[in-house]
A and B are shown apart, each in its own frame.
Chain A
Amino acid sequence: MDRMSSVELARQARCHALQMVARARASHVGGALSMADLLGVLYTDILRFRPDDPAWPERDRFLLSKGHSCTSLYATLALRGCFPVAELETYGADGSRLMSHISHKVPGVEFSTGSLGHALPFGLGMALAARRRGLSHRVFVLVSDGELDEGSNWEALLLAPQHRLDNLVVLVDYNKIQSLGSVAEVAELGPLVEKLRAFRWAVRELDGHNHDEIRAALDTLPWERGRPNCLVAHTVKGKGVEFMENRLEWHYRSPDATQLAAALAGLGGAP
């Protein structure tokens, strides 16, 4: 069976994410859409993993630090065969394991988050464990821009280069909008690339919706021997749904039936 392309995986994940938040009347679809292309490339061409064996010791570890954006990751994992796609319908329902912040009870999910600034330190520990044991798997941590306000992230950003953890990869979903306003209005992160380089990271900056660029960058890890890697991916909050793009309100709102239909139509139709 031909494997789905990264573009089609991201497209379908977006459709599912929209349906999930609409069904559950849940929030955070904007950030789920902004990172969908990063997930699409990671889960087709980059991550070494076995959908039927989530605990395979040699797998690359992927941690979602912005746990509120879990819908597109749940959808990506289901579409890649970690659990049945039909289960996505239970998202946010009473008793479902698909809780509204990412949960390690779900096959393929390494770590539960929801409180921000937790996954990077945890991932650093995983990367250090691999290094100390001479193992070759990598650790990927996807963070939001808003959560870089958290001091714990900067504690980890300071320590990882000290131990030359070039098996650690941070991806920043840099969509420029956080909870109560734009990043520029709340606590300007820029110049982010320069900050990270000053912290001794190997940094690449690209369009977080361009699959070829993302694939080319992540295909050549590590970028500099002995330096942890950070991909600053410029993204658009709400990407793929015109009326959601760059709109703060879609951090909170859930589409009604008419909006959902329009959004799915704009994405080329529900899978």
Chain B
Amino acid sequence: MRTAFIRELIAQAREHPDIFLVVGDLGYSVVEPFAQEFPDRFLNAGVAEQNMTGVAAGLASEGYHVFTYSIANFPTLRCLEQIRNDICYHGVPVTVVSVGAGLSYGNLGYSHHAVQDLGILRTFGELTIHSPADPGEARESVRWLTRNPGPSYLRLGKAGEPDLYPAQPLGPRPNVVHPGTADVAIAATGSVLKCALEAAAFLRCDGLDPAVLSCPWLQPLGTEFAAVFQAYRRVLTVEEHVASGGLGSLMKELLPRSVAVESLTIPLPVTRMVGSQSFLRREAGLDGPAIAAALKRLAT
């Protein structure tokens, strides 16, 4: 996903002379092509995320659309007040990009589990928030963000995620990845969509055909988003995030009570565990079989 991001950013930077990339001394073997092609629009701010974010806001106030780039919680929680005051309050076009959404860096331990970011950043109503599931969605996100510069947050997975469905332009609505025939749906955000699709495939073998929707656009959302889900009686949400403030939480805020929402999220004990993303998904009950089992319970 990060490769799709940087390739698209480079393509857009060729068209938009105001795009600027600031990194926090991270992005080895990812950001170099941008730095080589646009040395005047690249800055390594060093291992100093508060300063990186303030500098980005200052650059943005002078007319650049700045992308800050780092991993896990470093470009978000470490510099939260700079996002709040410098970027959001001043309304300057900075896109905060974090690589390593959810449990992508599961082996690296708690410091690198980015599982509270959505809940915290969603409280900044000025931020547009994108959480792509695959390289195609990441590309579409960059396309939209570069055409609509503003305070924004792009939550990326890591590397090597497969394309899960044909890309389509992003908007403030879910993308229907599999239409299904049942009156139940699985809604996922981020690369865990892959597990949701696996679950749906298991369930089809059992004669249950739920819809699968991807939710790459998490803020701002309104009636258009809610309207899509009104076609279903029950929705199961799936995300690599704790329960507070994530996708399930926002669905419960936005959808009418006629749509029952149940959520699969990361239980707190799992954030204290260490292991590969697939191992931790299994421990959290976010892998294909667990999602299928949860949906069966929900559908009956």
Contacts and interface: CB of A to CB of B under 8 A. Distances in A.
A156 B61 CA distance: 17
B41 A123 contact: no
A169 to B, nearest CB: 14
B46 A122 contact: no
Interface in B59-80: 59-64
Given A125-B58, A125-B62, A132-B41, A118 B86 contact: yes
A66 to B, nearest CB: 15
B58 A126 contact: yes
B43 A155 contact: no
Looking at A104, A126, A158, the one whose CB has the most chain B CB atoms below 10 A away is A126
B177 interface: no
Nearest to B79: A152
Given A111-B90, A118-B85, A132-B40, A155 B51 contact: yes
Contacts of B57: 121-122, 125
Interface string A120-153: 1111111111101100000000000000000110
Which DSSP category, helix, strand, loop or mixed, fits chain B's interface? Answer: helix
B81 interface: yes
Contacts of A133: 62
Contacts of A90: none
Which DSSP category, helix, strand, loop or mixed, fits chain A's interface? Answer: helix
Contact of B55 (A111, A115, A124): A124
Nearest to B55: A125
Nearest to A135: B62
A159 interface: yes
A156 B41 contact: no
Interface residues of B, number: 27
B175 interface: no
B238 interface: no
Interface string A155-185: 1101100010000000000000000000000
B50 A152 contact: yes
Looking at B40, B56, B58, the one whose CB has the most chain A CB atoms below 10 A away is B58
B53 interface: yes
B85 A125 contact: no
B261 to A, nearest CB: 37
A130 B40 CA distance: 11
A17 B9 CA distance: 48
Contacts of A120: 54
Nearest to A131: B40
A210 interface: no
Contacts of A112: 85, 89-90
Nearest to B90: A104
B50 to A, nearest CB: 4
Interface in A170-211: none
Looking at A112, A121, A124, A152, the one whose CB has the most chain B CB atoms below 10 A away is A121
A125 B41 contact: no
Nearest to A132: B40
Given A129-B59, A156-B55, A122 B86 contact: yes
Interface string B161-202: 000000000000000000000000000000000000000000
A118 B82 CA distance: 7
Contacts of A114: 85
B284 interface: no
Interface string A56-93: 00000000000000000000000000000000000000
A120 to B, nearest CB: 8
B243 interface: no
B46 A159 contact: yes
A151 B50 contact: yes
A122 B54 contact: yes
B48 interface: yes
Contacts of A156: 51, 54-55
B78 to A, nearest CB: 11
Given A126-B59, A159-B45, 20 more contacts: A110-B61, A118-B81, A121-B58, A122-B55, A123-B58, A124-B58, A125-B56, A125-B59, A125-B61, A126-B58, A127-B58, A129-B58, A129-B59, A132-B40, A133-B62, A151-B50, A155-B51, A156-B54, A159-B46, A159-B55
25 contacts: A111-B61, A112-B89, A114-B85, A115-B81, A118-B54, A118-B81, A118-B85, A120-B54, A121-B50, A121-B51, A121-B52, A121-B55, A124-B55, A125-B54, A125-B58, A126-B58, A127-B58, A128-B55, A129-B63, A130-B62, A133-B62, A151-B50, A152-B48, A156-B51, A159-B45
